[in-house]
Homo-oligomer: A and B are copies of this chain.
Amino acid sequence: MNSKKVAIVGASGYSGEELVRLLLSHPFAELTAVTSRQYAGQPLARVFPRFAHHPRARALGFSEPNAERLAREAQVVFLALPHGVAAEYAVPLLEGGCQVIDLSADFRVHDPAVYQEFYAHDHPAPGLLPRAVYGLPEVYRDQIRTASLVASPGCYPTSILLPLIPLLKARLIEPEGLIADSLSGVSGAGRKAELDYLFVECNESMRPYGLPKHRHLSEIEQELSEAAGRKVILQFTPHLIPVNRGILTTIYATPAKNGADRTAPDFATRLNERVARCYQDAYAGEPFVRLLEGKALPDTKNVVGTNVLELAWRVDPRTGRLIVMSAEDNLVKGASGQAVQSLNLMCGWPETAGLI
């Protein structure tokens, strides 16, 4: 395989740090630059002692983010920056000939008006939107292979879209009335010095937040609508849970009315079989989606540190509803691991390189 030089802009947050971890051990990617306004001039190993023993980390140090220099030093650049800021770097990097994988929200939503509605400022680079590919490999694999700009999905969206898209495409569930109830570890809030995320404020605490109109709804509804072939509105409630990593999402869906006679005695059995077949068709060959069998249910501890999303479902014969549950590591499949999955596709490497 040909190796490629890669860089990370904004490597001091949790997603950036996780990208560093993954790329240091990647068999084909060569990490040549990491930037951070805050830590510019410091060795990577001093800021993140956990990487100090890695032979490839020794030569790396944080630099100021400079698009021109980055374009010379790297062929692919990851942007792990706040929304609004990411676009500022994407433009010159693409002009400089780099491929860009953006982990922010800047290029996930096709419609700049929706972006404005959810992010409360004008889109910083609407001209690039047509080039951007939504970086969910299980859905857009072919487009990612040839993309120059990948908008890597958010953590909540990944945990909701992978369970729902196959069901909507197969018309197994109604596009109305969908609910996603999600639990997130505290790293999802980023490395920010705010009282709300202090250890004592989060430990022994469980709390909802950001409802009913969380920003991630913009990309989730876009992709659900795409799969359903019509507008989908989602009820979404995120909760903050005292774990470092992980997202657990429980989804409530109504089986498609024309596909199932809910009064039939074998309704639940038959629906269960159809859902199983649908997921098998969609994911049996996917290296990073794990369909749980038997009595097993998702547990974030089984996916933390990996790029795998666990998925299970139950039909409730009492309510006629379908419940789907997923678990992922918000920093891996929900952010940096998925971004590396896109990198592998863009570079023609095996999709699992550096991820298993």
A residues neighboring B (CB under 8 Å): 14, 25, 46, 49-50, 52-55, 177, 179, 181, 183, 185-187, 191-195, 197-209, 211-213, 233-235, 237, 239, 241-246, 248, 250, 252, 287-288, 290, 292, 296-306, 308, 310, 314, 316, 318-319, 321, 323, 325, 327, 356
Q: With A53-B306, A199-B199, A212-B316 as known contacts, state yes or no: A237 contacts B207, CB within 8 Å.
A: no
Assembly CA distance A245 to B193 (angstroms): 21
CB-based contact A49/B248 at 8 Å? no
CB-based contact A212/B318 at 8 Å? yes
Q: Which of B199, B212, B250, B297 contacts A181 (CB 8 A)?
A: B250
4 A-B pairs with the lowest CB-CB distances in the bound complex, closest first: A212-B316, A205-B301, A199-B202, A207-B299
Q: With A212-B319, A252-B252 as known contacts, state yes or no: A288 contacts B53, CB within 8 Å.
A: yes
Assembly CA distance A49 to B207 (angstroms): 13
Copies in the complex: 4
CB-based contact A200/B193 at 8 Å? no
Q: How distant is A26 from chain B, measured CB to nearest CB, in Å?
A: 13
Q: Which of A14, A187, A205 has the most CB of B within 10 A?
A: A205
CB-based contact B290/A52 at 8 Å? yes
CB-based contact B198/A195 at 8 Å? no
CB-based contact B290/A243 at 8 Å? no
Q: How distant is A334 from chain B, measured CB to nearest CB, in Å?
A: 13
Q: Which residues of B contact A208 (CB under 8 A)?
A: 248, 250, 297-298, 325
Q: Which residues of B contact A299 (CB under 8 A)?
A: 49, 205-207
Residue of B nearest to A53 (CB): B308
Please list 23 pairs of residues, one from A and one from B, whose beta carbons are closer than 8 Å in the complex, sorted by A's number. A14-B200, A186-B203, A191-B195, A191-B198, A197-B198, A199-B199, A203-B242, A204-B204, A204-B304, A205-B243, A205-B246, A207-B299, A207-B300, A207-B301, A208-B297, A211-B297, A211-B316, A211-B323, A212-B318, A241-B241, A242-B243, A252-B252, A305-B305
CB-based contact B239/A248 at 8 Å? yes
Residue of B nearest to A50 (CB): B302
Assembly CA distance A248 to B240 (angstroms): 11
Q: Which residues of B contact A194 (CB under 8 A)?
A: 193
CB-based contact A321/B235 at 8 Å? yes
Q: How distant is A159 from chain B, measured CB to nearest CB, in Å?
A: 11
Q: How distant is A86 from chain B, measured CB to nearest CB, in Å?
A: 22
Q: Which residues of B contact A296 (CB under 8 A)?
A: 46, 49
Q: Which residues of B contact A193 (CB under 8 A)?
A: 193-195, 198
Assembly CA distance A194 to B195 (angstroms): 8
